[in-house]
Structure 1
């Protein structure tokens, strides 16, 4: 059994595995270590990853991409509504109010829940891992943005369950320094002053910063900051908007009304952005048959690009300033600045970071694979199957969390902040209440304006089986609250301390007084998981059947090509011209059938056709063989007679 780390990106995904020799990033069937976060559904089967990305333009409305940030969100969420107008595929409101991704699959229109969609992607990554490692994969660590809320994190865990993966931990992308610190041999000892390092991660859809303190065998996140709406795709959008305006003026084309043309422009703009990172001169943008059979062209250079993106570049510094303030550090307290993420390759972004800290930035970590490698290391640490050098990791809670409570017999409400921003995690606390009857606890994020999510409420928890003491006094209720390894808040258990014979005795049976959240019950979760797994099973079966059908069709086509080569090759001297013409005609008829009536036939039809060809050609060659042997026999007789 192997354990893997998965970087579940907005644009691309990476999988890394811990082995005895270290950490290795796994390549997929295309020998590419990067797998696009893309799923294309068709009338018969699905394509996931590289194969799906190639269909973005040709299968516009049924190719899903850019769905990572839809986890845990309602259809009416402002973010979803903002994304809805940009996406070429359709979104639909699900019965429970969540967002569904609507496509046409197996000749039927249907919406898929985000957990199902991400589950398909994770199942593909699992399959890729198992194929490369030649052994089953179950345990994994999956990366999520540090700014994800409880609802978003629960949704990602559900997607992992749909894929048949056991997620040992949801790891914040800002904890990627694990891959940096565990191999460092020159870190200060535990009793010495830690080495402070800033990690800047700007990916395709988000910008995250963390300050980390390192000692030998120890990593502590001091603070995190982020801009969830600044990333590489924003720079792409700036280019697309510019070229759309230019093409409207120059070619009278309204690009944004044509989904296919807009996607092509996004692809070319992204390529141009990458080229400008390495070249400061004018670079061309040319797209053939762009719209209305027109070829379009333009150009851009780095200086123009930076001027165009000035408002975006101005957003680079604020999170850097915020994270330093929260960590209570000065610039001279920072040993180095490490950058990762594709968008940090933009020269102007690097310049902004360098200017703020007043020192050169470092690229020790692989910009694309660092998160996956960190996840793989964390998975190896958590798995009993691996022996890894002891390394302590302390993460932080990105948002402060407050509990509010109210009883039916009490007036007003009470509340307290149980976890402050940047509090160490995972962490548990016990809170004592004095109550005479059951009561509810409501958890919510203390500062709603700090979270990139419209709903500050985390959940409601019912504390049951609480009553007065035998003398009528309030009972002492101890409630244990926790932020777990996934960064998810919960009320773990509640216990009542009862008076007996004038002494205090604690009821130690955890869970005797249940806490229930306004979330699916265990039975509901199991039902949903089973339903997701069943859906996945049906899709996999459909994929298998379609693959077998295509394999049977390809076998007929290969037989035609192979036999035609042999007919004009090794068999040529044994076949008469008349018979060769007859066989060639049979091959052409079969080939025409494959591309016409035989284009979309059941597997058995192709198998029957292949058998028919084999029998026909076998009979013909039996005749050829007999003729050839007879010909050789008489030829030998003539030669023998001449010799005599």
Structure 2
């Protein structure tokens, strides 16, 4: 299926498939979808466009999103939040160990050394991986999107921080597969924002003109990212990125929490950090206070009732004091901004605009520092919360075959330099080469030529461990197999293609052995003409050597030597030590997620059945003392009321947790007693209107019979037998109605009715079926009754002056006159 769209305005028209962009934040998530007319942010079942990144595990099911957030205080040990940065990280990672004391739930070391999350689920201790927890969250977001769109959602683009390493990106990608999503791209947060900014701009410079340079600053709850992007018409190119992975809105929350913990310790003798529930409540209140201070510079109160040990606490804070407390964090704001500008080799004068997004950029002091650095006002033209999701949805629309949108090329960058290392006969036994430098264009492929006689390993790692927000700089090891020497014993030429793909993930994608190509003693060389792959855009592609067809030859040898035919043989590559889930483990996680979805569905159906019983009990009991009171005897009312009370007591005792069918049976038992009362009430209310309608019909048809007997010209074309049938039907209907009304009047209102509204409707239909076709039959046309005109032949042949005058006012065609004759217009 192809989707068509307005190329000039970037509008979309969808037929079948849906494509969505998902911003999976540290604290909240947003879903955007490409629809007819543009990009729309989807609201969840709580009519909230923001879904908390929160998963709560319980004894029977899972709660995800808003429902899970409501469990943060009451079920804190099993409610998981702030898990985004555990992707791909080892349990012994310094960051994990720093976070561990702050978390209300437990972390666990997995068999592979990674970080697991230990909770109580289905009354058992379970350890979930970060991929599984994120998979649960994505499953919820997928269901939210499908519910809003009324169609399946498969294709998606997921945003990740620009500083995520290879291991973290692979981990997030695995999570999308657990959720049953087809992730077309893991897009960097700031790149998504740049796309959301640029694709709708109609005034961008042409490719021949100087590009428009825009700075995008994104400070969310847990991280700070900066990118500088160059825009031309139809394309964007990221020039540089910089970041502080550990600076975000939560740092400012924690500063407030620390301050109030110390104050309450001295003022109320409360050690808040020893009470997880109290600490979580304080975090929530401090976050609210921080947001209030962004809009108000006066003193603001902090009041929490029954905070701890049944003690109410209160305090005050103002913006000035708050900024002084957070001075150490505010000082860090300028560092990534300055680094990005230096890497881009631009001056402040080259910057067209500074766009800020992310919740924490609402803090006035942060906006002020960014504005002061660039010597210009910051722009807030993008939605601070939804820009990443909207950009992700646009990228998904561009990549998906389901949409056709205006051409827009995207060139991202490699955030950290990547080096390859291999065994070499020179250089002390090891060879190294930096294949991708910092801020190198991505996605990108390079072909590297080796001269080898035997299989060899390529070890990939990040070049500068000190710049990495990650404890392990290794990416993985790639073993090139089946390498053999040439028939003459010389080294074989092996071409290896390395790639950073659209997800920002590094791989050795292919290797081939070139036969009959004698080496020149070099161990390795990088092709001078690598292929840039950028979403298949023709203008960004350079030819790539592909086996023999791409072999370069000495130009001086052309014409002197015959062409030498060479053969390219594909070589298998085995990846080792890659931080990604094995296929078997991933399949098990996918299956377990499916089982959890089924379990959640069963629990929902059980709860719905239980709620239906509870709702029926309350509704019926209320109406027994109201509208139903006169339709049931006192004895039956007492018995039914007692039954309702017993059911209510059962619901909160033995019936607290029963199978769905038990609740269904309970409801059926109640309805066997309650439904007749409801029916009597409804019948009593609707029966008079039914008899009234039947009476009107009988009157109508009886009037037609009387008119026929009086020779009314409207019915003269009907036969005596037909009108006799009508009269008989009317008489029978009158008799039926009188009998039923008399019988019903003898019954008490507490008894079941002798005649139901459905019976009256059926009788009306029966009467209509017999009478209506007869009395509403149209009269025969003029041609069918010529004898009527023959009686007045003379009048038509010799019209009088009076007749002629009357004829002038008639329309063409026959008209019925008072005398019953037909008059035709005389031309």
TM-score over 0.5 for the alignment?
yes
Aligned to 2:221: 204
Alignment deviations for residues 360-413 of structure 1 (CA, whole Å, 9 cap, x no partner): 010011000000000000000001111110011100000001110015899510
Q: 1:377 to 1:89 in 2, by over 3 A?
A: same
Aligned to 1:530: 587
Aligned to 2:276: 259
> Cα distance, 1:506 vs. partner?
4.3
> Cα distance, 1:437 vs. partner?
0.9
Query: Which of 131, 140, 151 does residue 115 from structure 1 map onto?
Result: 131
For residues 315 and 491 of structure 2, what CA distance do their matches in structure 1 show? 77
Aligned to 2:345: 328
For residues 585 and 347 of structure 2, what CA distance do their matches in structure 1 show? 49
> Cα distance, 1:634 vs. partner?
7.3
Aligned to 1:590: 647
For residues 56 and 89 of structure 2, what CA distance do their matches in structure 1 show? 22
> Cα distance, 1:528 vs. partner?
2.5
Q: Does structure 1 residue 602 correspond to structure 2 residue 602?
A: no
Bigger drift between 557-566 and 139-148 goes to: 557-566
For residues 466 and 564 of structure 2, what CA distance do their matches in structure 1 show? 44
Aligned to 2:812: none
CA contact (8 A) 2:493 2:517 kept: no
- SS in structure 2 of the partner of residue 472 of structure 1: coil
CA contact (8 A) 2:170 2:579 kept: no
For residues 351 and 517 of structure 2, what CA distance do their matches in structure 1 show? 57
CA contact (8 A) 1:496 1:506 kept: no
Q: Does structure 1 residue 103 correspond to structure 2 residue 119?
A: yes
For residues 67 and 82 of structure 1, what CA distance do their matches in structure 2 show? 13
Q: Does structure 1 residue 491 correspond to structure 2 residue 508?
A: yes
For normalisation by structure 2, the TM-score amounts to: 0.74
For residues 658 and 19 of structure 2, what CA distance do their matches in structure 1 show? 41
Query: Which of 568, 588, 600 does residue 508 from structure 1 map onto?
Result: 568
- SS in structure 1 of the partner of residue 257 of structure 2: helix
Alignment deviations for residues 338-380 of structure 1 (CA, whole Å, 9 cap, x no partner): 0000000000000110111111010011000000000000000
Aligned to 2:148: 132
For residues 332 and 621 of structure 1, what CA distance do their matches in structure 2 show? 78
Aligned to 1:633: 746
Aligned to 1:639: none
Q: 1:88 to 1:500 in 2, by over 3 A?
A: closer
Alignment deviations for residues 436-471 of structure 1 (CA, whole Å, 9 cap, x no partner): 111111010000001100111101111111122122
- SS in structure 2 of the partner of residue 177 of structure 1: helix
CA contact (8 A) 1:101 1:111 kept: yes
Structure (1 or 2) with the greater strand fraction: 1
For residues 391 and 678 of structure 2, what CA distance do their matches in structure 1 show? 62
Q: 1:521 to 1:326 in 2, by over 3 A?
A: closer
For residues 432 and 482 of structure 1, what CA distance do their matches in structure 2 show? 14
> Cα distance, 1:20 vs. partner?
2.3
Query: Which of 67, 75, 78 does residue 51 from structure 1 map onto?
Result: 67
Q: 1:460 to 1:619 in 2, by over 3 A?
A: same
Alignment deviations for residues 182-228 of structure 1 (CA, whole Å, 9 cap, x no partner): 00011111100001110000000000000010111110000000000
For residues 199 and 574 of structure 1, what CA distance do their matches in structure 2 show? 71
Q: Does structure 1 residue 458 correspond to structure 2 residue 475?
A: yes
Q: 1:616 to 1:184 in 2, by over 3 A?
A: same
Q: Does structure 1 residue 85 correspond to structure 2 residue 101?
A: yes
For residues 619 and 514 of structure 1, what CA distance do their matches in structure 2 show? 76
- SS in structure 1 of the partner of residue 429 of structure 2: coil
Query: Which of 327, 350, 353 does residue 370 from structure 2 map onto?
Result: 353
> Cα distance, 1:157 vs. partner?
0.4
For residues 500 and 55 of structure 1, what CA distance do their matches in structure 2 show? 67
> Cα distance, 1:632 vs. partner?
4.1
CA contact (8 A) 2:517 2:566 kept: no
For residues 742 and 243 of structure 2, what CA distance do their matches in structure 1 show? 83
CA contact (8 A) 1:497 1:504 kept: no
For residues 109 and 408 of structure 1, what CA distance do their matches in structure 2 show? 53
For residues 224 and 477 of structure 1, what CA distance do their matches in structure 2 show? 34
For residues 620 and 214 of structure 1, what CA distance do their matches in structure 2 show? 72
CA contact (8 A) 2:30 2:41 kept: yes
Aligned to 2:533: none
Q: Does structure 1 residue 571 correspond to structure 2 residue 633?
A: no
Aligned to 1:305: 322
For residues 635 and 103 of structure 1, what CA distance do their matches in structure 2 show? 62
CA contact (8 A) 1:407 1:438 kept: no
For residues 119 and 620 of structure 1, what CA distance do their matches in structure 2 show? 50
For normalisation by structure 1, the TM-score amounts to: 0.95
CA contact (8 A) 2:61 2:600 kept: yes
Q: 1:623 to 1:29 in 2, by over 3 A?
A: closer
Alignment deviations for residues 539-586 of structure 1 (CA, whole Å, 9 cap, x no partner): 011111111111111111111112112212221123344433332222
Aligned to 1:468: 485
Query: Which of 591, 610, 615 does residue 558 from structure 1 map onto?
Result: 615
Aligned to 1:141: 157
For residues 500 and 3 of structure 1, what CA distance do their matches in structure 2 show? 48
CA contact (8 A) 2:475 2:579 kept: no
Bigger drift between 289-298 and 513-522 goes to: 513-522
Q: Does structure 1 residue 27 correspond to structure 2 residue 43?
A: yes
For residues 589 and 634 of structure 1, what CA distance do their matches in structure 2 show? 32
- SS in structure 1 of the partner of residue 589 of structure 2: helix
For residues 521 and 282 of structure 1, what CA distance do their matches in structure 2 show? 50
For residues 629 and 290 of structure 1, what CA distance do their matches in structure 2 show? 71
For residues 595 and 390 of structure 1, what CA distance do their matches in structure 2 show? 61
> Cα distance, 1:519 vs. partner?
4.4
Aligned to 2:669: 612
For residues 622 and 63 of structure 1, what CA distance do their matches in structure 2 show? 47
Q: Which has the higher contact order (CA 8 A, sep 6+)?
A: 1
For residues 443 and 310 of structure 1, what CA distance do their matches in structure 2 show? 39
Aligned to 2:692: none
Aligned to 2:458: 441
- Give the gaps of 5 or more residues in structure 2: 1-16, 519-561, 685-740, 750-827
Aligned residues: 632
> Cα distance, 1:597 vs. partner?
1.7
Bigger drift between 175-184 and 590-599 goes to: 590-599
For residues 622 and 188 of structure 1, what CA distance do their matches in structure 2 show? 73
For residues 317 and 203 of structure 2, what CA distance do their matches in structure 1 show? 45
- Give the gaps of 5 or more residues in structure 1: 637-644
Q: 1:468 to 1:284 in 2, by over 3 A?
A: same
> Cα distance, 1:503 vs. partner?
6.8
Query: Which of 218, 221, 240 does residue 235 from structure 2 map onto?
Result: 218
Bigger drift between 565-574 and 57-66 goes to: 565-574
Indicate the RMSD between aligned Cα atoms, in angstroms: 2.2
- SS in structure 2 of the partner of residue 44 of structure 1: coil
Mapping for residues 535-546 of structure 1, pairs under 5 Å: 535-546=592-603
Alignment deviations for residues 458-499 of structure 1 (CA, whole Å, 9 cap, x no partner): 011111111221222111111111100000111011111111
Aligned to 2:547: none
Aligned to 1:549: 606
For residues 202 and 282 of structure 2, what CA distance do their matches in structure 1 show? 47
Query: Which of 517, 523, 533 does residue 575 from structure 2 map onto?
Result: 517
For residues 125 and 476 of structure 2, what CA distance do their matches in structure 1 show? 34
CA contact (8 A) 1:495 1:507 kept: no
